[in-house]
Structure 1
Amino acid sequence: MTSPVSATATEGSELHAARGAAQPGLVARLSAEAFGSLFLAIAGLGVPLFTIPQSNPLSASLAAGLAVTASMLAFAYISGGHFNPAVTVGNAIAGRIGLAEAAAYVGAQLVGALAGALALFGILRTVPKIDDTRTAFDTVTAGFGEHSIVQAPMAGVLLVEVLGTALLVAVFLGTTSARNTNKAAAPFAVGLTLAVLLQLGQAVGNTPFNPARATASAIFSSSWSLEQLWLFWVAPLVGAAIAGLVFRGFSDSTAAAAAHAPARAAGAAESGHVEAAMDDDLDDDDLDDEDFDGEDLVDAAQGPGSDAVGEDARGREKDPRGAHGVRGRRAEDGSADGSADDEARDFFDGRRGQ
């Protein structure tokens, strides 16, 4: 006989297999990731590169957030809508994607981001007033120390990247969870989160919270950007790992509770059956027995040898004359006690007459 736990596990594996069969092929998913990453690179790097404050009121951080929202709405149904190696690593650690597939995702995201940066580099080369294209890219490339607008040291930029990426990946994992009943809001939640974080990190060091975007801009910038690129890989991956481990713990605890739930339900049902059976036995054998009444409880409480007392007590209850009930019945029957009473009355009546 199949246990409830094994039946639940079987149903879960069948559902996972059905979802895997309905999932698009790997080539389609990688293409979606590459195209979405290209869009993010063009919006995240192109808007600040070509922004003129008087004619472009849209901030670079909001533009990047809206690009994430649009990309997720367009391609998330195909690949999941990562477009960020940190998000992919967080999903892998949380157990939502395999390691080999995650590595392929990261490769596709790098290709897409590099293609976007290359397109922007080509556009910059056509602008006559820009003499040094690499110097122009330096203004949107992540850096620390002297390459930070506020001269933020390495430790400060690292902390911002770790914290910001952990928050971004946590929002992604939470809003795209299978238990989330409002997954349609995920693109907007992730996009707004990225916009807020970019607004925070822009002055600190152009922190992108996206290693693919950081790599794409560093390749087309001055040589110092490649020397500092390691921080914008290590810090985001650490933040993603923290968020992934937290959500993996949530999933494990939920799965354990779901696995124990059938056993608890079965135990409760079995306990209910035992109590019902005990109640049925009591009702059938005791309470519904015609020979069982309160007198049996009195006799049982009085113990052995109490039958005569019980009979006398029952007799007194039936005869309202109380303690003289037995003698009265004997008098009516003409017993010896009744004759003695008559003689005594005659004797006293004669003495009164004298």
Structure 2
Amino acid sequence: MSDPKPDAPIPPTPLDHTPVAPSTAATLVAEAFGTFLLVLGVISTALFAANFGASDNGTSLGVGFVGVSLAVGLTVVAGAYAFGPISGGHFNPAVTVGLAAAGRFPWSGVLGYIVAQVVGGLVATSLIFLVGLYGPDGWLSAAQEGGFASNGYDAGSPGGFGIGGAIVVEVLFTAIFVIVILGVTHSRRGNPAFAGLVIGLTLTLIHLATIPVDNTSVNPARSIATAVYGGALPLGQLWVFIVFPIVGALIAGFSYRALFDGVKKP
């Protein structure tokens, strides 16, 4: 008599791998955290490390403009991969507006994202201010008298550039930044796996080119966050770094949609 056949194995119950869209609250928190990371990284580097150890004989242990530029790029890369899957990884009101203009983001969600980004940036500079309270004698007052790494023109410009230079820089380089984002994240032609890296390197390049002009904004949330602690001059000039990055983003968004996202006629 042959042994009975063993029972056929019972297949495992399939798991439902359908992705669940994050809640509105989760996306807003992710935007706040991402903007917090960006502002904390770049402003901490600018205030604590850029000119560290500078002496009268010209020597310095600081990282300078190059270090600040790398800091902002690295924080964007980290934020993009950490929070991008949740919120899209804007971390910048100009980017949010530009994506909406290009049809990649609903206009109804713009205000909530901007509020979250501004809050995230303000929390970052508030914590930097807190660290400064425990710094060497005179460090915090000197940082505030120097504008707290704020954006500016004329007396607020690292290189003494006027308002015209700041306007051109903010419109032009914000537009370039948004166009790169739209291209690298395109659903058909983009490469999402490398999007965060490309976006971070682009922002690094923008800072390398424009820090001497106006300390590089291309991000109103970053500008607001530093101006609050920078005193009267940065606050008086803040409107330039809110209005013109938004203008550049709108130009980029509408232009990209018209030029590259049109329907091909048969």
TM range (shorter): 0.7 to 0.9
Instruction: Give distance in 1, aligned partners of 2:149 and 2:185.
Output: 30
Distance in 1, matches of 2:39 and 2:222, equals 6
In the alignment, the residues of structure 2 paired with residue 98 and residue 131 of structure 1 have an alpha-carbon distance, to the nearest angstrom, of 41
For the residues of structure 2 that align with 1:193 and 1:105, how far apart are their CA atoms? 22
1:184 aligns to what?
Answer: 193
Letter of the structure 2 residue corresponding to residue 43 of structure 1: G
SS in 1 for 2:238: coil
Q: Percent identity?
A: 38
Secondary structure in structure 2 of the residue aligned to 1:228: helix
**Which amino acid counterpart does residue 44 of structure 1 have in structure 2?**
V
Segments of 5+ residues of structure 1 without an aligned counterpart are 1-18, 262-354
Cα separation, partners in 2 of 1:160 and 1:108, compared to 1, 3 Å: same
1:36 aligns with 34
TM-score (norm 1): 0.64
Q: How far off its partner does 1:139 sit?
A: 4.9
CA displacement at 1:182 relative to structure 2 = 1.6
Q: Helix, strand or coil for the counterpart of 1:253? A: coil
Query: Conserved in 2, the CA contact under 8 Å of 1:162 and 1:238?
Result: yes
After superposing the two structures, state which structure 1 stretch, 209-218 or 127-136, moved more. 127-136
User: Alignment partner of 1:138: what SS?
Assistant: coil
Task: List 4+ stretches of structure 1 deviating above 4 A.
Answer: 55-58
Bigger shift: residues 29-38 or 146-155? 146-155
For residues 248 and 131 of structure 1, do their structure 2 counterparts lie closer, same or farther at Cα, with a shift above 3 Å needed?
A: closer
Aligned counterparts of 1:136 and 1:112: Cα–Cα separation in 2: 24
CA distance in 2, matches of 1:131, 1:206: 19
Quote the offset at 1:82 in angstroms.
Answer: 0.3
Structure 1 residue aligned with 2:88: 80
Shift of 1:100: 2.0
Q: What CA deviation, in whole Å up to 9, does each residue of 1:273-329 have, x standing for no partner?
A: xxxxxxxxxxxxxxxxxxxxxxxxxxxxxxxxxxxxxxxxxxxxxxxxxxxxxxxxx
Offset of residue 56 of structure 1: 4.5
2:157 to 134, 138, 148: 148
Q: Distance in 1 between matches of 2:142 and 2:35?
A: 22
Tell me the distance in 1 between the aligned counterparts of 2:260 and 2:214. 35
- Deviation of 1:147 after TM superposition, in Å, equals 1.5
| 1:121 alignment partner, one of 129, 132, 139 | 129
Name which of structure 1's ranges 201-210 and 214-223 shifts more when overlaid on structure 2: 201-210
Correspondence 1:172 to 2:155: no
- 1:121 touches 1:133 (CA, 8 Å); kept in 2? no
Q: Could you tell me which of 237, 241, 260 is aligned with 2:246?
A: 237
Letter in 2 for 1:125: L
Equivalence for 1:66 = 74
TM-score, length basis structure 2: 0.84
Taking a change above 3 Å as real, the CA distance of residues 137 and 32 of structure 1, as seen in their structure-2 partners, is farther
CA RMSD of aligned residues (A): 1.9
Which residue of the partner structure matches residue 93 of structure 1?
101
CA distance in 2, matches of 1:252, 1:199: 31
Could you say which residue in structure 1 is the equivalent of 2:228? 219
Q: What is the match of residue 207 of structure 1?
A: 216
Distance 1:122 1:248 in 2: 43
Report the equivalent of 2:61.
Answer: 54
Change over 3 Å in CA distance of 1:137–1:74 after alignment to 2 = farther
Q: Residues of 2 paired with 1:29 and 1:49: CA distance?
A: 30
Q: Offset of 1:23 from its aligned partner?
A: 2.4
User: Match of 2:130, as an amino acid?
Assistant: G
How many angstroms apart in 2 are the aligned matches of 1:41 and 1:78? 19
Letter in 1 for 2:34: G
Q: Distance in 2 between matches of 1:131 and 1:44?
A: 17
Report the alpha carbon displacement of residue 192 of structure 1 after superposing the two structures with TM. Answer: 0.5
Secondary structure class of the residue paired with 1:220: helix
What's the CA shift for 1:135?
A: 2.2
Note the C-alpha offset of 1:251: 5.6
SS of equivalent to 1:39:
helix
| Length, aligned pairs only | 238
Gaps of 5+ in 2: 1-17, 53-59
Q: Is the 8 A contact 1:148 1:203 kept in 2?
A: yes
